[in-house]
A and B are shown apart, each in its own frame.
Chain A
Amino acid sequence: GDSVTQMEGPVTLSEEAFLTINCTYTATGYPSLFWYVQYPGEGLQLLLKATKADDKGSNKGFEATYRKETTSFHLEKGSVQVSDSAVYFCALSDRSANAGKSTFGDGTTLTVKP
């Protein structure tokens, strides 16, 4: 079955540091890939997505590129802020299905210190 593996956390960075959170996946089909963010006490919010190979998703300074050859979708940000502290989830969805039934990684907790 489909699966997503994220780098283990927690990750602690100083403000303005560079962020990378690794994500690799296995899928039987040709999935769409996503990063979600979960702030304390809240549900998941879609951060960015990519639907085909070499696509780059971007939002709020975060970027991730769909790498089919390495089955990866690493999340990056050039300069993190304290407000970026949250749990980040990598996920995939089978493109043959409608929205729903996403497969998630276990999440990576990011703490940014001033």
Chain B
Amino acid sequence: DAGVTQSPTHLIKTRGQQVTLRCSPKSGHDTVSWYQQALGQGPQFIFQYYEEEERQRGNFPDRFSGHQFPNYSSELNVNALLLGDSALYLCASSTLAGGPGEQYFGPGTRLTVT
């Protein structure tokens, strides 16, 4: 079992650009959640996808959007990048029937905006 995988590992972008991050959930999981972890802080919930639809959303602007594919993998897109978007982006997978908190996290994508 490969667990949750994310790509790329690291990414450097310039202000104003757009970025796409990818996540493959753990085998058997159908729900993907995305979190932003700024340096020295805890993860902040961005949104969650199930059945290819956004089910829940945190306090993030519309510049942050996502997608889930029929194979349950997911993408996080961020448009018009700001310096403040520099962070570790974590993907977590789970099952809809799983208990609260039964999430498995990937290693994250480190995004640096210059």
| CB proximity of B61 to chain A, nearest CB, Å | 17
Contact B48 A100 (CB under 8 A): yes
With A42-B107, A51-B99 already in contact, the answer to whether A100 and B94 are too (CB < 8 A) is: yes
Contact B105 A44 (CB under 8 A): yes
Q: Give every chain B residue within 8 A of A105 (Cβ-Cβ).
A: 42
Q: Which residue of A32, A43, A102, A106 is within 8 Å of B99 (Cβ)?
A: A32
A77 CB–B CB distance under 8 Å: no
Q: Which residue of A34, A42, A99 is within 8 Å of B31 (Cβ)?
A: A99
Contact A93 B101 (CB under 8 A): yes
Number of A-B residue pairs, CB cutoff 8 Å, is: 84
Contact A102 B108 (CB under 8 A): no
Contact B90 A44 (CB under 8 A): yes
Q: How far apart sit A103 and B99, CA to CA, in the bound complex (Å)?
A: 15
Q: Give every chain B residue within 8 A of A101 (Cβ-Cβ).
A: 33, 45, 48, 56, 58
Contact A100 B92 (CB under 8 A): yes
Contact B99 A99 (CB under 8 A): yes
Q: Give every chain A residue within 8 A of B102 (Cβ-Cβ).
A: 46, 99
Q: How far apart sit A91 and B94, CA to CA, in the bound complex (Å)?
A: 16
Q: Give every chain A residue within 8 A of B104 (Cβ-Cβ).
A: 46
Contact A45 B105 (CB under 8 A): yes
Q: How far apart sit A94 and B101, CA to CA, in the bound complex (Å)?
A: 9
Q: Which residues of A contact B (CB under 8 A)?
A: 4, 31-32, 34, 36, 41-46, 49, 51, 89, 91, 93-95, 97-107
